[in-house]
Amino acid sequence: MSRRPALLGIDLGTSSVKAALVDLEGHLLTAVSVGYPVAHPRPGWAETDPALWWAAIRDAVRQASNDVTGAEPVAIGLSGQMHGLVATDAAGAAVRPALLWSDARAVDELAIYRRLPAEVRGRLRNPLSPGMAGPLLGWLARHEPASFAATRWALQPKDWVRARLTGEVRAEPSDASATLLYDIPGDRWDHDVLAALGVDPGVLAPLLPTSGSHAGTLLPEVANDLGLAPDLPVAAGAADTAAAALGSGLVKPGTAALTIGSGVQLVMPVAELIAAGDDNPVTHLYRAATDTGWYAMAAGLNAGLALDWVRTVLGVSWPQLYAAADGELRPSDPMFLPHLSGERTPYLDPDMRGGWVGLASHHDRNALLRAALEGVALAVRDALDSLRDT
């Protein structure tokens, strides 16, 4: 009996990997998720051993293949968590646990960026964030010189996965543009930034032209480990936000998409790249997963995260929290600032904190719950207004 061809997608998330099989018409056949822990060895640090990623990938891919009788993967595509840093030796083995997007250890390295000439900062077109690869590389050079000296490649997480699959070390624009190491107007690595950080440009992987580029074929020994046929073509893949935008059809300038999870993301395709860049932007600008194009993004840290904290400390269920939205509005109602974990767009302040304001003795639990919902909604509006200004 002939087997029907299918496409295998692997998405490397922060706390789990997903493996999905779709047929050639795009119909989902199965999706499997396997989790792994995020380590926090110190406050503000976030790491994962890439060996845990690989073990989860192996389990997820094998389970997905077993779930669908008669389907045969014929190609592999990738997406993954953005930012962070996977430092590897020449053989592709991690020299230390991967540093994740939520890691804040490189706050002091942002001072290097602030000292850059305005023209160089303007080329980056992105707010300064300690969880991006550039500041993290600077931190590694200053604080772990042995790890830095052992580093042959500084990769983004999904690019590490692809290198493991194919043996080919490459980068692609949707993730590269989100590293604070990328000349956005020039669409290339920025050597001036690398020089300021004291980083050899050779540690950055050669750039493939697009997220859809052919990036290599599946190594025989890896195919055996995953239970797949050898020599399957592997696409470059894309950053998770870029992949989600493309997958949801968000490609037309003037449209936008709102995603709310622990944080909030507002994504808007950009018609064309303006030549002059703000040297202190509050919104992000990244390459899209399409062959050409860019997208602007406003990112907040406190949406579901803040609401879950409120729900927990006030001892209510999610339905009870949502029901509070129907309460009567009064001028004397308290306000809630949701910035429990600092904030990105539009404040760019990791030390910002939240709380209720305007409390009085007549306020009850429902008033606090409703204020929390309103506070998160207004934080989304803050992000939207910032995006409209780009």
Domain with 368 in it: what CATH number? Answer: 3.30.420.40
Which of 246, 280, 308 lies at the terminal end of a domain, its last residue? Answer: 246
Query: 32-68: per-residue pLDDT in tens?
Result: 999 999 999 998 899 999 999 999 999 999 999 999 9
The angle at the Cα of 350, spanning 346 to 356, to the nearest 5 degrees, equals: 80
Backbone φ and ψ of 195, nearest 5°:
-65, -40
pLDDT of residue 273: 78
Say how far apart CA 339 and CA 375 lie, in whole Å: 9
Can you tell me whether residue 348 is helix, strand or coil?
coil
Residues 300 and 368 in one domain: yes
Can you tell me whether residue 278 is helix, strand or coil?
coil
What is the pLDDT averaged over residues 356-362? Answer: 95
pLDDT of residue 262: 83
Residues 36 and 174 in one domain: yes
Backbone φ and ψ of 257, nearest 5°:
-130, 140
pLDDT of residue 177: 98
Residues 166 and 279 in one domain: no
Question: Which residues are known to be catalytic?
Answer: 240
**Long-range contacts from 244-250, C-beta under 8 angstroms, 24+ separation:** 244/79, 245/269, 245/288, 245/289, 245/295, 246/288, 246/289, 246/290, 250/295
Give the count of domains, the chain: 2
Say how far apart CA 195 and CA 203 lie, in whole Å: 12
Query: 119-155: per-residue pLDDT in tens?
Result: 999 999 999 999 999 999 999 999 999 999 999 999 9
Residues 229 and 353 in one domain: no
Look up the domain containing 330 and give its range. Answer: 253-390
pLDDT of residue 121: 95
Residues 240 and 112 in one domain: yes
Query: 251-260: per-residue pLDDT in tens?
Result: 998 899 998 8
Half-sphere exposure of 5 (CA within 13 A, CB side): 8
pLDDT of residue 57: 99
What percentage of the chain has pLDDT greater than the value 70? 98
Residues 223 and 289 in one domain: no
Residues 201 and 238 in one domain: yes
Backbone φ and ψ of 377, nearest 5°:
-60, -40
Task: Indicate if the pLDDT at residue 271 is higher than 90.
Answer: no
Which of 246, 276, 301 lies at the terminal end of a domain, its last residue? Answer: 246
Question: pTM of the predicted model, to two decimals?
Answer: 0.89
Residues 229 and 179 in one domain: yes
The residues, any chain, with a CB within 8 Å of residue 62's CB and separated by 6 or more, are: 226, 227
Residues 309 and 386 in one domain: yes
Query: Could you tell me the pLDDT band of residue 390, with boundaries at 50, 70 and 90?
Result: low
What is the pLDDT averaged over residues 225-231? Answer: 97
Which of 246, 272, 306 lies at the terminal end of a domain, its last residue? Answer: 246
Residues 235 and 337 in one domain: no
Query: Could you tell me the pLDDT band of residue 275, with boundaries at 50, 70 and 90?
Result: low
Task: Indicate if the pLDDT at residue 276 is higher than 80.
Answer: no
Residues 238 and 266 in one domain: no
Query: Could you tell me the pLDDT band of residue 291, with boundaries at 50, 70 and 90?
Result: confident
Residues 225 and 258 in one domain: no
